[in-house]
């Protein structure tokens, strides 16, 4: 069993044979692509997973990976904590021709060598969860704006556009 800081490189096929439990953390700063747009990269990635073999002999990595990245709120431009959590069911294959045979309940991962980067593997999964735009759930800047917008709408309601005025305009334009 591996605990605390997890290794950078792993051998999935071998570890699945051994039934290794993968529980520990990876410093967020090792995931440069994931934190490219983040305010800080001093968090951790929590991994609670296990290498196993399923009934058909597929080497799997199953478990949960979670972290929290601080992105910029697109309303107030301050930092907002965005929680990312993914449930993994990765099946490893060593030949491209075998990719199609992997049951669809698994996400197939093609290994080009015996040893791969655990950090990259998990980072790829987390990147898929990144929102296109980050917002605070209750962003003050946004609330202020909606109040203003509501007020504008109310004022607009007091003088509704008369459809006949539009018609008149159309006629006079002729």
Query: Nearer Cβ to Zn ion, position 48 or 140?
Result: 140
Q: Quick check: 76 binds Zn ion (CB under 5 A)?
A: yes
What does the block give as tokens for 160? 């509704």
Closest C-alpha among 53, 47, 62, 42 to residue 119: 47
Query: Nearer Cβ to Zn ion, position 11 or 75?
Result: 75
Residues binding Zn ion: number (CB under 5 A): 5
Q: Quick check: 2 binds Zn ion (CB under 5 A)?
A: no
Full DSSP string of the chain: -B-SBPPSEE-HHHHHHHT-EEEEEEEGGG-TTTTTT-S----EEEEEEEEEE-TT--EEEEEEEEEEEEEEBTTT-SEEEEEEEEEEEEEEESSGGGGGGS-TTSEEEE-SSS-EEHHHHHHHHHHTT--SSB--TT-HHHHHHHHHHHHHHHHHHHSPPPHHHHHHHHHHH-
Stretch that binds Zn ion, among 1-9, 71-79, 87-95, 108-116 (CB under 5 A): 71-79
Selected binder of Zn ion within 13, 44, 130, 139 (CB under 5 A): 139
Q: Quick check: 75 binds Zn ion (CB under 5 A)?
A: yes
Q: Quick check: 73 binds Zn ion (CB under 5 A)?
A: yes
- Chain positions 45 to 64 lying near Zn ion, rule: CB under 5 A, are none
Shortest Å distance, C-beta 143 to Zn ion: 10
Query: Nearer Cβ to Zn ion, position 40 or 64?
Result: 40
Shortest Å distance, C-beta 37 to Zn ion: 15
Query: Nearer Cβ to Zn ion, position 68 or 139?
Result: 139
Binding site for Zn ion (CB under 5 A): 73, 75-76, 136, 139
């Amino acid at each position: 069993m591996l605990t605390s800081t997890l290794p950078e490189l792993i051998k999935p096929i071998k570890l699945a044979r051994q039934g290794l439990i993968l529980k520990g953390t990876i410093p967020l700063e090792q995931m440069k692509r994931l934190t490219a747009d983040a305010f800080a990269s001093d968090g951790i990635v929590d991994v609670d997973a296990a290498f196993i073999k399923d009934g058909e002999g597929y080497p799997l990595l199953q478990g949960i990976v979670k972290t929290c990245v601080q992105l910029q709120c697109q309303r107030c431009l301050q930092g907002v904590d965005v929680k990312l959590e993914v449930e993994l069911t990765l099946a490893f294959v060593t030949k491209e021709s075998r990719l199609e045979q992997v049951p669809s309940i698994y996400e197939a991962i093609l290994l080009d060598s015996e040893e791969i980067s655990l950090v990259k593997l998990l980072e790829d999964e987390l990147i898929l969860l990144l929102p296109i735009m980050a917002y605070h759930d209750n962003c003050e800047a946004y609330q202020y704006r909606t109040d203003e917008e509501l007020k504008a709408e109310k004022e607009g309601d007091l003088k509704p556009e008369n459809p006949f005025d539009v018609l008149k305009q159309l006629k006079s334009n002729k």
